[in-house]
Amino acid sequence: MPSTSPGAAPRSPGREPAVEVTGLVKRYGTKPVKTAVDGLDLTVARSTVTAVLGPNGAGKTTTIETCEGYRRPDAGTVRVLGLDPVADAARLRPRIGVMLQSGGIYAGARADEMLRHTATLHAHPVDVDLLIERLGLGSCGRTSYRRLSGGQQQRLALAMAVVGRPELVFLDEPTAGLDPQARHATWDLVRELRADGVGVVLTTHFMDEAEQLADDVAIIDGGRVIAQGSPEALCRGGAENTLRFTGRPGLDLASLLKALPAGSAASEPASGSYRVDGTIDPQLLATVASWCAQNGVLPDAIAVERHTLEDVFLELTGKELRA
């Protein structure tokens, strides 16, 4: 929606990444010292959506807060839009938007007051009334923040993050507590931000959200980035490389194996249920379909199994609960 697009304001071009973190270390406490981030490297390209995922205590929140300038690194370098988030805070803050899970909003202030005040802090703000309408905040404009529902508070925090037309926006769990309609409206807004050249760094616990929105996914655990890539690349790397189909029991698997590429395997784990393992690509799929046709087999179902982003996340970080 161009009239409320944060990307419509003039901006200076830059070739450097939106975010570049090298060897970041952040520790807390003294006895004992807790290392929250341990030599972390992260690069976020401009005009993209990057989802930062990680279990509780992995270091993702500390990393993002350091990028936002709320924490000072103990070691390493952090550059956001080419600037140091701490030393260059005054120059950087007008160019970024930050959506926090909690805090930063006076509990007694009215929703429209907070949003309009935030708009006045920027040179080229979005039309506040249109943004209020877009995010469904019209009915709660005169309600104090403390009396808003959780979903309304989330939408107000999102509006405050984008009203200044940022070049880069950090969104912390932007759809937590939202109903399906508000969730999809938020997804649409994130997509429009990217289309208008705005970089988005998104933290979320919803794997489907990351798959839907992200150009790039960084998985953090133990204070380091342990995997990074597009959702498709990460899921492809964790593919089971398995094709399954169903048909009449007792098919001639030796004949099927002769038709398959070297290194493939075929089995019948259950009566009438068949599994083919190997390099699953379009050619192998066509070979199986052709073999079925030649042998008078009409599969009831045929499917290539791929891991989801959640599967990959759990494989990399484990399935145990964390405090």
Q: Are 257 and 323 in contact (CB under 8 A)?
A: no
pLDDT of residue 9: 45
Tens of pLDDT, residues 54-86: 999 999 999 999 999 999 999 999 999 999 999
Q: How far is CA 209 from CA 77, 187, 218, in A?
A: 29, 8, 14
The pTM score is 0.81
- Calculated CA dihedral for residues 135, 12, 171, 212, nearest 10 degrees: 80
Domain parsing of the chain, residue ranges: 2-235, 240-305
Of 144, 155, 141, 146, whose CA–CA distance to 109 is shortest? Answer: 144
pLDDT of residue 106: 79
pLDDT of residue 174: 93
pLDDT of residue 107: 83
Residue 104: other Cβ atoms inside 10 A: 13
Tokens 């000072």 belong to 72
pLDDT of residue 158: 94
Q: Topology of 2-235 in CATH?
A: Rossmann fold (3.40.50)
Low-confidence ranges of the chain (pLDDT < 70): 1-15, 101-104, 237-240, 321-323
Q: Topology of 240-305 in CATH?
A: Alpha-Beta Plaits (3.30.70)
pLDDT of residue 140: 85
Tokens 């009215």 belong to 110
pLDDT of residue 6: 52
